[in-house]
Amino acid sequence: MGHKEGTIHYAMYQNSERLQRFLMLMLDGRERSTMEIIRGADICAVSSAACELRENGFRCECIKKTSPAYYQLFDIEQAKDLSEQLLAKREVVNG
């Protein structure tokens, strides 16, 4: 219902502890393997979570599509600012 073909459903960063854990792990800007992310952020489906972060405005990219894949967060300062803005919006809504 209301879902356009070719688009994905994704969690809103401010409402997703899973995406917040993933972002916090990646904020040092290091590249990490899928397994490092699974263990470090306690998530699975890393490629989906990276896509969800991108849909929320963060630049989290798959930089090596080998096995295992490697991901990296770019524009760290922008990511920190965006995270703060989105979490602040959540606080306003939840009042």
pLDDT tens for each residue of 36-76: 999 999 999 999 999 999 999 999 999 998 889 999 999 99
Domains held by the chain: number: 1
Residue 49, in any domain of the structure = yes
Is 95 part of a structural domain of the chain? no
Q: Give the pLDDT band of residue 85 (cuts 50, 70, 90).
A: very high
The CATH number of whichever domain residue 74 belongs to comes to 1.10.10.10
Spatial contact of 48 and 38, defined as CB atoms under 8 Å apart: no
What pTM was estimated for this model as a whole? Answer: 0.85
Confidence of residue 95 (pLDDT cuts 50, 70, 90): low
Q: Could you list the residue range(s) of the whole structural domain that residue 38 is in? A: 15-85
End-to-end, the C-alpha distance of the chain in Å comes to 29
Residue 1 has pLDDT above 50, yes or no: no
Distance CA 87, CA 15 (A): 8
